[in-house]
Amino acid sequence: MPSLEDELFPSTPGKFKIERTHNMNRQFHRCFASTSTMFLWALFLIVLTASYLSFRSFVDSGNRYLTASWGGIQWEKQIRNSAQIRRPGGMSVLVTGAAGFVGSHVSLALKKRGDGVVGLDNFNNYYDPSLKKARQSLLNSQGILVVEGDLNDAGLLAQLFDALAFTHVLHLAAQAGVRYAMENPNSYVHSNIAGLVALLEICKSADPQPAFVWASSSSVYGLNEKVPFSESDRTDRPASLYAATKKAGEEITHTYNHIYGLSITGLRFFTVYGPWGRPDMAYFSFTKNILQGKTITIYRGKNGEDLARDFTYIDDIVRGCLGSLDTSGESTGSGGKKRGPAPYRNFNLGNTSPVKVPRLVNILEKHLRVKAKRKIVEMPGNGDVPFTHANISLAQREFGYKPTTDLQTGLKKFVRWYLSYYGYTRKDIQ
């Protein structure tokens, strides 16, 4: 019987050499065939995986399109219905920030006089979105469509401008608030700069181009100490990031006017107040806290002087917006190419009668019939300025702007709205 050693090592060297070579070749071919098969299977799996991922991407894109709040034949029909002009010489206006304070008021005024209006708003949570939704419902009841979406969504903007050739754009959407910029600076860059550029891009490429009116801010005057503030005053010393983004906006819009022929009008609002206002504003938060019996904080300047603001009632601001739209002139570009110079303007929209903050509180106490619990502190270095005061002579000359509502009257209207909206009765606050 051959031993284990004989089986492993044959006695004939030649036989071993031939058989070993033959076996090695056979094993090599078997291995190669196995490797080729594995390669083919691997390639098949890669193709199958890629096909699946492409299919999923297609399905996801389709789902996003189907579930989006914009797009489609029915949506375009709603856009055209909302933008229908009902007066001779009227305009079709895209209002951004339409569910906001100023945006909702101007949209209603435009619709009331027979202009076509389409709104755009992202309904962010900088303050209670339910207030924005309530404003949207008010607009809807008057036949004004408010599209929910972000300015930085190029696809949405393209759909809007494909659906309708707007004659005007009133750009009021922005990240507002001076102090919040210290907490969330990126939101200001996203909305006030990137969003502005995205909107200007779609406008300059439109054919015909719309006239462009937008909300700058009185905050661009920054650390300016010359009063009243005039449009010709220096605006290169902003006191907050919010102010800096608005100043940047003025420079950016000038560029689009110069290169592309867009008609540009910038509006520098001065402390707007009134019904349906913003909860982050002092007059609004003071009212809330006074009614709830909480202490309100009133700031004073570092020199001990009371802060003063050029409080401007919403109805006066609306008239200023309408006047700016009516006198905006035409853009001169077409499809991104400029054919001639177009208007470029900036206007102050204020009340021209600054009121100190303690006086504001006194008026609120009178209308609420509740005494405020006051805490006086020195103004922190958070971007606020000690006073604002508008020179409105340029707006008066250009389109007859003339504010008519004093703070006493305006706050009375605001308090009446506030008590009604939040369900207060006189019995609740006695």
Active-site positions? 242
CB neighbour list of residue 115: distance below 8 Å, 6 or more residues apart:
85, 86, 87, 90, 91, 92, 93
Q: Using DSSP, state whether 213 is helix, strand or coil.
A: strand
Tell which residue, 403, 89, 402, has the closest CA to residue 274: 403
* Phi–psi pair at 159, nearest 5 degrees: -65, -40
- Can you tell me the distance from the alpha carbon of 92 to that of 96, in angstroms, rounded to the nearest whole number? 13
SS3 314: helix
* Long-range CB contacts (within 8 A, 24+) of 53-61: none
CA distance 295 to 329: 49
CB within 8 A of 239, min separation 6: which ones? 178, 219, 222, 223, 383, 384, 385
Closest alpha carbon to 142 in 114, 111, 170: 111
Tokens 């509006």 belong to which residue? 267
Q: Identity (one letter) of the amino acid at 335?
A: G
Picking from 201, 148, 154, 156, the residue whose alpha carbon sits closest to that of residue 173 is 148
Q: Which of 153, 151, 418 is nearest to 287 (CA)?
A: 418
Exposure of 349 in the CB half-sphere (CA atoms within 13 A): 32
Instruction: Assess contact for 132 and 109: CB atoms under 8 A.
Output: no
∠ CA 139-141-142, rounded to 5°: 65
Residue whose token pair is 């009446």: 416
Asked if residues 168 and 325 have their Cβ atoms less than 8 Å apart, the reply is yes
The Cα 33–Cα 25 span in angstroms is 12
Tell me how far apart the alpha carbons of residues 376 and 353 are, in angstroms, rounded to a whole number: 23
Q: How far apart are CA 386 and CA 300, in angstroms?
A: 8
Contact 284, 364 (CB under 8 A): no
Residue 15 phi, psi dihedral angles, 5° rounding:
-60, -40
